[in-house]
Amino acid sequence: MGYIRGVLFLIWVVFWLLLLGIIFLPTLFMGLAVAKIPMKIWTKMALFGMRYICGIKVVVEGKQNIPQGGALLASKHQSMFDVLIPWQLFSFPALILKTELSRIPIFGWYVMKLKNVAIKRQDGAKALRKMLQDCAALAKQNRQILIFPEGTRVKPGMSSSYKPGVAGLYKEMQVPCVPIALNSGLCWPKSGLNFLPGTITVRILPAIAPGLDKKSFMQQLQTSIETNSAELNSGKYTSMEKQS
């Protein structure tokens, strides 16, 4: 049943991506304020599909911690849901993503128009320097930069080492860093289409002020995200499917 829901949901999001992408093509030649409208609508429709096709409800905690102006958003990463939800929570996020994603027809056009930060991992240190420069410039334009400190998706209850890139961004951007904990992997799988009904909770945590040394920052960030994510992943959550 979960797989069938996943297939229907995939059809739903692709349909809306194509429809909105074509309808709003003229916005690619307009300002950013207009060009971000289709992304806002598409992610909203994706969340609608999650609720009514997959039976997944989304709860957001800590809305008072949502930053105004430039910020570094450091989020736990368990599923592709984590890439969608920032567009509904924050005013104008920018994602750090692989260059390959920017080459996808329609989706990639909007990714680049909205000045998301595409990196070529094979370029090593050169790619890191460019990412730092691009993100610092966007922060000065009051953009919120989203990064997944672990660098990859992990299953609920698991963690991976936090990559030094997040500390480099924190130092270079000189803006508050907002940790984000979540448990999306309990409903939206790390891979595959076996979606489970239930509740995804996104917890926006108090910002870490700029100016900490690397060690202190990394320790505070990891403790904040992992402690809260572990709580959200705890036995207090029971999938609706498991209850039936």
Structure confidence by residue, pLDDT tens digits, 171-180: 999 999 999 9
Using the predicted structure, report yes or no on whether residue 11 has a pLDDT greater than 80: yes
Tokens representing 65 are: 């911690």
Tokens representing 142 are: 């009051």
Single-letter code of the amino acid located at 221: L
Using the predicted structure, report yes or no on whether residue 238 has a pLDDT greater than 60: no
Do residues 87 and 39 make contact, with C-beta atoms less than 8 angstroms apart?
yes
Tokens representing 112 are: 């680049």
- Per-residue model confidence (pLDDT) at position 21: 94
Using the predicted structure, report yes or no on whether residue 235 has a pLDDT greater than 70: no
Residue 94 buriedness (CB in 10 A; 0-12 / 13-18 / 19+): buried
pTM: 0.89
Model confidence band, residue 181 (pLDDT cutoffs 50, 70, 90): very high
Do residues 228 and 203 make contact, with C-beta atoms less than 8 angstroms apart?
yes
- CA-wise closest residue to 164 among 229, 96, 218: 218
Q: How far apart are CA 68 and CA 144, in angstroms?
A: 9
Alpha helices in 36-149 (DSSP H): 37-52, 81-84, 86-89, 107-113, 125-140
Single-letter code of the amino acid located at 19: L
Chain segment 122-171, per-residue pLDDT in tens? 777 787 888 899 999 999 999 999 999 998 899 998 889 999 889 999 99
Strand partners, 119: 98
> If you average pLDDT over every residue of the chain, what do you get?
90
Residue 143 buriedness (CB in 10 A; 0-12 / 13-18 / 19+): buried
Q: How far apart are CA 224 and CA 196, in angstroms?
A: 27
Chain segment 32-85, per-residue pLDDT in tens? 999 999 999 999 999 999 999 999 999 999 999 998 889 999 999 999 999 999
- Per-residue model confidence (pLDDT) at position 98: 79
Q: How far apart are CA 128 and CA 205, in angstroms?
A: 26
Using the predicted structure, report yes or no on whether residue 243 has a pLDDT greater than 80: no
Strand partners, 146: 73, 95
